[in-house]
Chain A
Amino acid sequence: MMARKKITLVSFGYFDRKFVEDVARAIEKEINAEVTTKEGHLDLSKYYDVKRRQYNGDDLLKFVDNSYPSNRGKTMGLFGVDLFIPILTHIFGQAYLNGNTGVVSHFRLNNEYYGLKADRKLLLERFIKEVIHELGHTYGLTHCHVPTCVMRSSTYVEDLDEKSASFCDHCREKI
C-alpha cells in the first residue's frame, strides 16, 4: 500500500490561524494527503529588493527548500508579501517542477490590492487554488489547457476566479 502523501504548510509573517487551517483542509480534500501547518521565522528584509519594492521569489523558494527536509514530503511557504522573479513583474507563487518545495503569496490575491472591497471568502478561494496549483507542479504537473482545471496557468486574479480548485481527470491521474 502506498504511503499517504505528506504536505507541510509553513506560514511566514502574520497569518490568521483559521485561514491557514481552512487552506490545509481544502488541500486534504483535493489531494489525498496528510497536511500539517507550522509557523516559519525569517528576516524578510534580506529578500527585499529596494529597486523593485518587492520580495525575491527565487531566493525565498531556495530558502524554504533548504530549510525543510525533503523526507517530510512537500513544503509550501505561505507569504503575504509581493513576490517577484527577475524576469517577471510579479508572481502569485512558484514551485520546483517535480521537486519538494513551493512558495505562494496572497499579496496580489486580495481584492484590496485592486482597490476593491475586501472579500475574505474570495481571498481564501484564490489562495487555496494557488497553493494546490503550486503543489501540482511539485508533483510534476505542467500547465493544463482544461479551463476549469486548477493547473491552468493564471496570470491574473480573474484567471484564478475562472478555474476551479480541482484537478481535471487527466491531471489527477498523474499525481
Chain B
Amino acid sequence: MSKKISILIVDDEKSVTDSLYNWFVEDGYHVRCAANAKEALSILESETYHIVLADIKMPGMDGLEMHRRIKSLNQEAIVIVMTAFASVDTAVQALKDGAYDYITKPFDPDDLSHLIRNATSQISLKEENETLKDKISSLENVEDLVGESEAMMQVLQQVQSVASSSSSVIISGESGTGKELVARAIHSNSPRKYFPLVSVHCGALPENLLESELFGHEKGAFTGAMFNRKGRFEMADGGTIFLDEIATISSKMQVELLRVLESGKFMRVGGNKEISSDFRVICATNKDLKKMVENGTFREDLYYRLNVVNINVPPLRERKEDIPVLADYFIEKYCKSMNREKVSIDKAAIKRLEEYDFPGNVRELENMIERALVVGNSNTIRLKDLPLEKGGEAPTPVESLNENEKRHIKNILDKYDWNISRAAKILKVDRATLYNKIKKYNLKTSDKENH
C-alpha cells in the first residue's frame, strides 16, 4: 500500500462514530467522521477517502442516496453500508448500486476487521492495477509509430492533443503510411483506452454486409442470419470505432452513418429495438474527401461531422530521415519474432533505401526488411539482400512473406535439382520442415509441371 488507508465514517449517532473512530484509529487508519450525508458529501468534494462506512438510515438523506451521490462525484471510494435493521432489501439495493458490502449493527469485531482488511486488499489491488495500466499505457504511446522527423513529431503532437477528447478524427494519408497505427495511438492514449478499439475495413465489405457488420442483425433478418449478432458500433460501446477506407462506403451507408453519429442510436438489421452506444469515431482514407464532397460522391454533412480533426500522415518519401530508425525498428521486430540475434544493416543498404521513393510507404519498407531477413543469412543486411540492388524500383513491393518464402524455396530446390537433403541444408531447416513447406505451397519440379 503506497499510503495510509483513509476511512470516512458517516452516522448520525455520535456513539457509533466515536466507537468506530477509536477502533480504526487504534488500527492505524486515517479516520474522519461525519454526522450526516450532507456533511459527508461536502467533505468528499474536497478530500478523497479510500473507504466510506455509512449508515443506511439517516435523517435528511439516507445512506443509499448518499452512495449514489458519492458515485456521481466520481469518487472511487469503497462504500460499505451499515444497517441497524437487518433489512436485506436495502442492503441488496446498496449492493446493486455498487456498494462493496454491508454490515449489520452491532458488528462482531472480527467481522469488521475482516471487512476492512478485504476492502484494503481490494484497494491495494486497484492501485497495483492502475500502476500496471500506466506502465502499459506508456508503452502504447509509441506503439509502432516510429520516427524522429519533424513531420512525424507533428503527427504525434496531434495524436496527443486529440486523444483526451471524444471528437471525430479523419486520418488521411497514402496507403501504407500507418494510418491505423495513428488510430491505435489515439485510442490507447484516450480515456476510452480500457474499452475496445473496433476496426472495420469498409472497403473490404459489400454494402449489405457492411450494414450488418456495423449495426448487427437479428436472427432471421436475412438468409443465413441464424443468430442475433452484435454490430461493431455496439461492440465499440465505451471505446472507439475505426472505419478504414471510409471513402468507399455507398451513399446509402453514408446516410445511415450520419444518423448514427448524430444520435448515437441505431437498430440492428431486422430489429425494432433502438440501441444506444457511446463510441468515438476515427476514420481513415487515402482519398481526398474534400474533393469527393465537391464532386458529389461524399456527403458534405457527413464530411463535416467526421472531419472535426484531420491528421495527415506524411508519406515516407517526405520523411526520409526516419528511414534508418524505421529500418532498425523493423529489424529488431522481425529478429525477435524469428527468434534470431539482432542483425545490422550496412551503410550502403541504408543509403540505397534513402534514395528510394517508397510508393508503398512504411509498409513497403517493413516488407523489404522482413524479406531481407528471410533471404539473407548473414549477420548484416547488405545491399544485395534488398530488392533494390539493381535498377531503381522494388520488383514486388507488396509481395507477402508467404509468396516470398515460396519463391525462395522453389529457387533453391530448382538450383539443387530437387535434392531435398541438400536444399534443406542450404535453407537451414530439417527435411521434414522442407517437405511440409513443399506440401504447403504445392511446389512441383519443373519436369513434373511439364508432364
Contacts and interface: CB of A to CB of B under 8 A. Distances in A.
B224 interface: no
B113 to A, nearest CB: 6
B26 A142 contact: yes
A142 B106 contact: no
A25 interface: no
B436 interface: no
B23 interface: yes
Contact of B107 (A58, A87, A94, A96): A87
B19 A142 contact: no
Given A58-B19, A88-B19, A88-B23, A143 B110 contact: no
Interface stretch (B10-18, B85-93, B236-244): B10-18
A166 to B, nearest CB: 19
Of the listed residues A58, A96, A153, the one surrounded by the most CB atoms of chain B closer than 10 A to its CB is A153
Given A87-B16, A88-B23, A142 B107 contact: no
Interface string B16-60: 101110110111100000000000000000000000000000000
B296 interface: no
Contacts of A97: 22, 25-26
A142 B22 CA distance: 10
B106 A86 contact: yes
Interface string B391-418: 0000000000000000000000000000
A84 interface: yes
A118 B392 CA distance: 100
Given A84-B106, A143-B27, 7 more contacts: A52-B106, A58-B19, A85-B15, A86-B13, A87-B112, A89-B109, A90-B109
B351 interface: no
Which has the most chain A C-beta neighbours within 10 Å: B19, B82, B107, B108? Answer: B19
B105 to A, nearest CB: 6
Contact of B19 (A87, A143, A153, A156): A87
Interface residues of A, number: 19
Interface in A75-111: 84-91, 94, 96-97
Nearest to B109: A155
A89 B15 contact: no
A137 interface: yes
Contacts of A96: 22
A58 B26 CA distance: 15
A88 B106 contact: yes
Interface string A130-163: 0000000100001100000000010110000000
A102 B19 CA distance: 14
Nearest to A94: B22
Interface in A21-80: 52, 58
A136 B241 CA distance: 61
9 contacts: A86-B19, A87-B16, A87-B82, A87-B112, A88-B23, A88-B106, A88-B108, A88-B112, A94-B22
Nearest to B13: A86
A142 B113 contact: no
A97 B110 CA distance: 20
A10 to B, nearest CB: 20
Contacts of B20: 87
A129 B250 CA distance: 82
Contacts of B22: 94, 96-97
B425 to A, nearest CB: 65
**Residue from the set A52, A88, A153 with the largest chain B CB neighbour count within 10 Å:** A88
Given A87-B107, A88-B109, A143 B15 contact: no
Contacts of A94: 22
B336 to A, nearest CB: 44
Nearest to B20: A87
A97 to B, nearest CB: 6
Contact of B105 (A58, A87, A156): A87
B110 A155 contact: yes
B84 to A, nearest CB: 9
B28 A143 contact: yes
Contact of A156 (B13, B25, B106, B110): B110
Nearest to A134: B26
Nearest to A144: B28
Pick from A84, A137, A143 the residue with the most CB of B within 10 Å: A143
B112 A153 contact: no
A94 B23 CA distance: 9
Nearest to B9: A87
**Among B18, B23, B108, B109: residue with most chain A CB under 10 A:** B109
A89 B27 contact: no
A142 B13 contact: no
A123 B113 CA distance: 24
Nearest to A87: B19
